[in-house]
Amino acid sequence: MVGKIDRVDWLDEKSRSVKIIDYKSGADKEKIEEHEKLQLAIYAYAIKDRWGFTPSKMAIIRVEGGREICMDWDEKWLDKAKEFVLNTVKQIGTKGFPARPGFICEYCDYRNICNWAKR
C-alpha cells in the first residue's frame, strides 16, 4: 500500500508518542466521522509498524473553518485498521475489488491500464 500522511507531531520524543493529523477540505463538521477514524487508524498502524511510534492522539483539521477535532488513540482502532487492510489486500488478490467508475477516474493512478477509464 502507498499513501501519504499529512502531518505527524511529536508529543513526547522520549516515549516516541505522536499525534497524527489529517487535513480535510469540504464542509466544516463538528466531529470525526467513522470512515475518517478508520483512515487515521490506518495511518497509526503504518506509523507504529514502520517506525515504532506510539500514536497517542489523532486529529482532523477542517480547512474550511480551521477547526481541529482531536481524539485520544484507542488500541481497538489498531485492530480495525489491521482487519481492513488485510481484507482489502485479500479482495484485491482474489479480484473481489470491483471498479467503481465515475468522475474520480480522471484522477486515478490506474486510469492508463483500467478498462473502465478507457471507455
Domain locations along the chain:
7-107
Rg (CA), the chain: 17
Over residues 20-27, the mean pLDDT reads 91
By the 10 Å C-beta count (0-12 exposed, 13-18 middle, 19+ buried), 9 is classed as exposed
| More confident position, 38 or 117 | 38
What is the pLDDT at residue 56?
92
User: For 56-108, what is each residue's pLDDT tens digit?
Assistant: 999 999 998 889 999 998 888 888 888 988 888 888 777 766 777 888 788 88
- Band (pLDDT 50/70/90 cuts) for residue 18 is very high
How do beta strands 17-24 and 54-62 pair? parallel
Report the distance separating Cα 117 and Cα 27, nearest Å: 29
What is the pLDDT at residue 1?
63
